[in-house]
Amino acid sequence: MADNRTRTAVITGASSGIGQATAEAFAARGWNLILAARSRDDLETVASACRAAGVQVLVVPTDVGDATAVQALAAAAQSFAGRIDLWFSNVGVGAVGRFLDVPIETHDRIIRSNLIGHMNDAHAVLPIFIGQGEGVLVNMISVGGFTAAPFATSYSASKFGLRGFTEALRPELAEHPRVHVCDVYPSFVDTPAIRHAGNYTGKALSAPPPLLDPRTVAEAVVRLADHPRPSVILGTATWAARLGHALSPALNANAIRLVFERYFAAAASAPATDGNVMAPPGDGAHIDGGLRTPPARRAGLAAAALVASLAAGGLFLAVRRQRSRRED
Q: Using CA atoms, how far apart are residues 140 and 310, in angstroms rounded to an integer? A: 26
Q: Is there a catalytic annotation at residue 185?
A: no
Q: Using CA atoms, how far apart are residues 154 and 152, in angstroms rounded to an integer? A: 6
DSSP, collapsed to helix, strand or coil, labels residue 181 as strand
Q: Using CA atoms, how far apart are residues 247 and 222, in angstroms rounded to an integer? A: 32
256 neighbors 149 (Cβ within 8 angstroms): yes
Query: What DSSP string describes 5-38?
Result: PPPEEEEESTTSHHHHHHHHHHHHTT-EEEEE-S
Say which DSSP state 71 is in: H
CA distances from 115 to 90, 215, 257, 299 (A): 11, 24, 24, 32
Catalytic: which of 155, 185, 200, 263?
155
**How, if at all, do strands 86-89 and 8-12 pair?**
parallel
185 neighbors 231 (Cβ within 8 angstroms): yes
Q: Using CA atoms, how far apart are residues 96 and 177, in angstroms rounded to an integer? A: 40
Backbone angles phi, psi at 47, to 5 degrees: -60, -40
187 neighbors 234 (Cβ within 8 angstroms): yes
Other residues' Cβ atoms within 10 Å of the Cβ of residue 168: 9
Helices (H), 227-293: 236-247, 249-266
Q: Using CA atoms, how far apart are residues 186 and 143, in angstroms rounded to an integer? A: 6
Q: Which residues are catalytic?
A: 155
